Amino acid sequence: MGELSWIFVSALLVNNFTLSYFLGLCPFFGVSGRLVTAFRLGLANIFVMVITSLCASFLNAFVLPYAPYLRLISFIVVIASTVQFVEMVIKKVSPGLFRALGIFLPLITTNCAILALALFQTSRGYGLLQGLVFALGAGGGLTLALVLMAGLREEAELSDIPSVIRGTAMNLIIAGILSLAFMGFAGLFSGNA
Partner 1 sequence: MSGDLVQLEGRKGASAGVPDNTARLVLTLTVAGLLSGIAIVSAYEITRPMIAANQARALERAVFEVVPGAERLQRLAWRDGALVPAVGDAAGEPSIYGGYAADGSFAGYAIPGEGAGYQDTIKLLYGFDAERRRVVGMYILESRETPGLGDRIYKDLDFVAAFRDLVVEPEIELVSGGGAADNQVDGITGATISSKAVVSIINATNSLWRERLFAPGAEPPPPAEPATEEKP
Partner 2 sequence: MSSGGHDPGRAYEELVKGLWRENPVFVQVLGMCPMLAVTNTAVNGLAMGAASFFVLVCSSVLISSFKSWIPKPVRISTYIIVIATFVTVADLSLQALAPTVHRELGAFISLIVVNCLILGRQEAFASKQPVKLALADALGMGGGFAIALVMLGGAREVLGAGSLFGVSLFGDQFEPWVVMLLPPGGFLMLGLLLLAFASIKEARVKLAERTRKAA
Residues near partner 1, by CB under 8 A = 6, 10, 14-15, 69-70, 73, 124-125, 186-187, 189-191, 193
> Does the footprint of partner 2 cover residue 22 (CB under 8 A)?
yes
- How near is the Cβ of 130 to partner 1 at its closest, in Å? 12
Half-sphere exposure of 11 (CA within 13 A, CB side): 26
User: How many angstroms separate the CA atoms of 69 and 81, rounded?
Assistant: 20
Cα→Cα distances 81→12, 72, 85, 141, Å: 27, 14, 6, 25
Sites for partner 2 among residues 149-168 (CB under 8 A): 164-165, 167-168
- How near is the Cβ of 186 to partner 1 at its closest, in Å? 5
CB 139 within 8 A of CB 51: no
Cα→Cα distances 21→1, 13, 188, Å: 25, 11, 18
Binder among 7, 10, 12, 20 for partner 2 (CB under 8 A): 20
**Dihedral angle of Cα 88, 92, 94, 98, to the nearest 10 degrees:** 40
Binder among 19, 48, 101, 138 for partner 2 (CB under 8 A): 19
Q: Nearer to partner 2 by C-beta: 163 or 192? A: 163
Sites for partner 2 among residues 119-148 (CB under 8 A): 119-120, 123
Binder among 177, 184, 187, 188 for partner 2 (CB under 8 A): 177
Q: Nearer to partner 1 by C-beta: 1 or 36? A: 1
User: How many angstroms separate the CA atoms of 127 and 100, rounded?
Assistant: 31
- How near is the Cβ of 172 to partner 1 at its closest, in Å? 21
Q: Which residue, among 17, 176, 44, 21, has the nearest Cα to 103 in the 3D structure? A: 44
Q: What is the binding site for partner 2 (CB under 8 A)?
A: 19-26, 29, 69, 72-73, 76-77, 80, 110-112, 115-116, 119-120, 123, 164-165, 167-173, 175-177, 179-180, 183
